Structure 1
Amino acid sequence: MDQATLANAANVSRNTVVSFEKGQRTPNPNNLTAIRTALETAGVIFVDENGEGAGVRLRKRVE
């Protein structure tokens, strides 16, 4: 997913996504929730800390 698509799906500005990816700032809580929800809707699963660090993976496709 590119930045523009994520920004559109999360209903935030592309600059918000760019600044977050560059580590220049942390989005406000509402924007962060919107970005996470957009990613989860697209199939991203956020994995909590399990001794090897937090991470992400893609949901399996059901065919």
Structure 2
Amino acid sequence: MMGWMQGAGDGTFYGPHTENDQPVLVIGEGAGLWTNCVTWKSPQLAQQYKHKKFNDLYYQDDE
């Protein structure tokens, strides 16, 4: 998805995924499709995993 009047960058990407046997939505941005956030089905799961980095996702600071 490209932002309205976006002049640079590759946009924002959304993809369904599974983490810890839970369906999640992964949001990525940038040229490397770096993971920006993982959205969970409940506030409790979001709170539980709020600082967790998953080995199967690519983060910009992993470079």
Q: State if a TM-score over 0.5 links the two structures.
A: no
Q: Which TM-score applies when normalising by structure 2?
A: 0.22
Q: Which has the higher helix share?
A: 1
